[in-house]
Amino acid sequence: MKTYAIGDIHGGLKALVQVLNKLELQDGDRLIFMGDYVDGWSESAQAIQFLIELSETFDCIFIKGNHDIWCENWLRDDEVNPTWYMHGGKETMDSYEGFSASQKKKHLQFFQNMPLYHIDEQNRLFIHAGFTSMYGVKREYFEHVFTVDRTLWEMALAFDSRLKKGDFNFPKRLEHYHEIYIGHTPTTNFGFTVPMNAANVWNVDTGAAFKGRVSGMNIDTKSFVQSDNLPSLYPYEKGRNK
């Protein structure tokens, strides 16, 4: 059995399909999606439908991202968050044209059932953005940070590689988990088009919302596959490149 971490998708269904085809999945493989399935490219609703159907065949874990919360709120309450609308929400709303009320209800349930994080059998943490508690995710005061925090990644980037677990100055947040997998903060912000590693944190968001790609990583071997750049797959769209 192989386990793959799949980075942010942002409505790029074509890119997701490319990644899954390259992974050549087999029975028993597990897919852990890092969140932000919607907002950006034109196939958000279609991507959600695809993921629901995919989970009927493969072992899938869908972590909830901040964009997913916005979409969930809209599907539940018809609430249009102005920030969401400006950051891909409009494209997501447009993608739901033609979807029935029953289909939207099923998508809402899909969002509602998403966990905010997952810890596997080898004490590896999967979370969309990060956490702030020095005692780990189970003692986080404000769960909202799971979908928006960037300080965990910033801390990992500043990590002194000479430190080892147990050292006095070793960051307490990093001691709790064997490895941590995140999305949310595009590696393209740092000039990298591929997944990045800092300390024991792996960032698999490779900028699919903008001009980057969707990535899928084997978490045991650290090998990865990627889609084409999203603008090449959706040449008549801007994504979130506004």
Q: Which residues of 60-81 are buried (b: 16+ CB within 10 A; e: fewer)?
A: bbbbbbbbbbbbbbbbeeeeee
Given this model, what pLDDT does residue 187 score? Answer: 98
Sequential DSSP letters for 47-83: HHHHHHHHTTTSEEEE---HHHHHHHHHHHH----HH
Whether pTM exceeds 0.85 = yes
Given this model, what pLDDT does residue 228 score? Answer: 98
Mean pLDDT by 10 residues, the chain (242 residues): 97 98 96 98 98 97 98 94 94 97 98 98 98 96 96 91 72 93 98 96 98 98 98 96 84
Given this model, what pLDDT does residue 242 score? Answer: 76
For the chain, domain boundaries: 8-233
Sequential DSSP letters for 153-183: HHHHHT--TT--TTSTTS-HHHHS-SEEEE-
Task: Please check whether the domain covering 8-233 is classified as CATH 3.60.21.10.
Answer: yes
Given this model, what pLDDT does residue 17 score? Answer: 98
**Are 25 and 53 a contacting pair, CB within 8 Å?**
no
Over the Cα atoms of the chain, what is R_g? 17
Given this model, what pLDDT does residue 79 score? Answer: 82
* Cα distance between residue 223 and residue 110, in whole Å: 29
Separation of CA 200 from chain center: 18
Given this model, what pLDDT does residue 165 score? Answer: 72
